[in-house]
Structure formats: C-alpha cells, structure tokens
Amino acid sequence: MGRVLIIATNGFEQSELTGPRDALNEAGIETVVASPEAGEIKGWQHTDWGDPVKVDKTLDQVNADEFDAIVLPGGQMNPDVLRMDETAVGLVKSFFDAGKPVAAICHGPWLLAEADIVRGRTVTSWPSIRTDLRNAGANVVDEEVSVDGNLITSRKPDDIPAFSKAIITAIKDATASVAAA
C-alpha cells in the first residue's frame, strides 16, 4: 500500500512517533525508522525518558525515492538536533521537492523551516515555535491538523489521530494517482 520514512533521534516525543507509526502500520503502510545513529533511540514521555525504539536504518542509508512519505515526530530535543543534521534536512527537502507528503507534528516543523519549505505555506505547530515558522515565511494557524499541498502539520499529542488520518489519506491519494497513471 505504501512505505513511510520516520526520522527521529533521542528525545523524540514518544507518542508522536509510536502513534502515527502504529496507525500507519494498521492501515497496511510499512514504516521505517531512520536516525543519525544505529541501534535504538530513546523517546521522551511527558517529563522523563520513555521507551527505546529500534532504528531500522541510519539516515545515510535511505533516500526519498524509496518512500511515499516522510513523518517528523516532535519533542523539543529531537527536531532541534535533527535540524542541525544536513542529511536529515536534505531528506526533508527531497521529499518536499518530489511532491511527496511531508508530515510534521509539535516541534517537528522546525525541520520544515530549516529546509526552507514553509515560505507561503499554511502550517501549524507547538505554540513555542510558531514565531520561527512565521519568520521562515509560513502562514501559521492554530488547528488540529493543517494540510497545505504536500505539507501536513499538527500541534501536539492530542492531534495524533487527526494527524495520522491525514497522512494515511495523503498516501492513499498519492498511490491511487500513481496507479491510475
């Protein structure tokens, strides 16, 4: 049905990786977790470290051609580290430039700003990074999920069901149009 790349590193918001991943898997969509480091990465859950998640591939082992979409979980630490990683930022830009769904939640849109792909687009995020997104040229809204072309953004863990549904819909629409072509 489809294949989705999830990129994260230590300090990702636990539910923002596992929630969309599990929803995608239940919808018959394969997920691959990639990180700068091999092995496992540790999530952040509320006020303390969460559970480890197995890393399927390192960032340098993947490219946008192999996937139908990319998902960027939030958490404060995770995207702050990844936005300084040229490979991670390059992957985000590659997906966007290919017209594939790019989905980011909470602090994840920091990577969208870093990849310079929010200019003139409508997005949402965790409140504390909205000024950064505006400064990068985005039209920022406070909505459960914002879909603008191939950009899908959400604000917080409470939005995960709507966020996941929007990703699944975008992948189904994209794979249906490819199959019809």
Identify the active-site residue in 21, 100, 107, 156.
107
Q: CA 149, CA 93: separation in Å to the nearest integer? A: 14
Structural contact between residues 149 and 9, judged by C-beta atoms closer than 8 angstroms:
no
The one-letter amino acid at 102: V
- What is the Rg, in whole angstroms, of the alpha carbon atoms belonging to the chain? 15
Exposure on the CB side of residue 17, measured as CA atoms within 13 A: 29
CA separation (Å) from 125 to 11, 61, 78, 103?
17, 29, 15, 11
Structural contact between residues 79 and 129, judged by C-beta atoms closer than 8 angstroms:
no
Catalytic residue status for 46: no
Q: Could you list the active site residues?
A: 107
